[in-house]
């Protein structure tokens, strides 16, 4: 049986759940678990500051994939908001990324036998 330890939030002594053991940090009361979770999330976001920025940027940049004309696959480049990309990364970088994508797309398409 795991030995008693103080809750990392309220400081009250508790005996950890045997299934969790030494990893359990709080006494298990909902308010302590919530506080510990918030603290852990805050730490994680401090250690990974670009994560939210990356996700927001990605969501803003990639649009719903539009349907292609009848019988043809959708244009993969139409799912990127290129106006937004140009505003965020500048014209030269945006054009470089777009054209590199097109070259890679054509190479991949041509590599597949008809
Ligand atoms: Zn507690």
Average pLDDT, the chain: 89
Q: What is the pLDDT of residues 43-67, one digit of tens each?
A: 999 999 888 888 888 888 888 766 6
pLDDT mean over 25-32: 96
Helix (H) or strand (E) holding 74: none
Indicate whether 13 and 61 sit together in one domain.
no
Handedness of CA 5, 30, 17, 37 (dihedral sign): negative
CA–centroid distance, 104 to ligand 1, in Å, is: 55
Indicate whether 42 and 57 sit together in one domain.
no
Indicate whether 39 and 87 sit together in one domain.
no
CA–centroid distance, 9 to ligand 1, in Å, is: 5
CA–centroid distance, 60 to ligand 1, in Å, is: 40
Tell me which residue range forms the domain holding 94: 50-111
Indicate whether 19 and 62 sit together in one domain.
no
CA–centroid distance, 23 to ligand 1, in Å, is: 14
pLDDT mean over 33-38: 97
Does residue 71 carry a pLDDT above 90? no
Q: CA nearest 63: which of 49, 44, 43, 83?
A: 83
Indicate whether 20 and 62 sit together in one domain.
no
Indicate whether 54 and 106 sit together in one domain.
yes
Indicate whether 18 and 56 sit together in one domain.
no
CA–centroid distance, 59 to ligand 1, in Å, is: 38
Cβ–Cβ under 8 Å, residues 32 and 10: yes
Q: How many domains does the chain have?
A: 2
Q: Distance (Å, rounded) from C-alpha 93 to C-alpha 101?
A: 12
């Amino acid at each position: 049986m795991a030995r008693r330890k103080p809750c990392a939030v309220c400081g009250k002594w508790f005996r950890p759940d045997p299934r969790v053991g030494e990893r359990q940090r709080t006494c298990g009361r909902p308010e302590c678990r919530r506080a510990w979770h918030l603290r852990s999330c805050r730490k994680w976001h401090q250690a990974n500051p670009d994560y939210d920025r990356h996700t927001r940027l990605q969501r803003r940049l990639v649009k719903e994939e539009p349907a292609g004309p009848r019988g043809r696959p959708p244009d993969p480049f139409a799912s990127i908001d290129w106006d937004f990309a140009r505003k965020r990364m500048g014209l030269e970088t945006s054009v470089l990324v777009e054209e590199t994508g097109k070259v890679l797309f054509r190479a991949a398409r041509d590599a597949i036998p008809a």
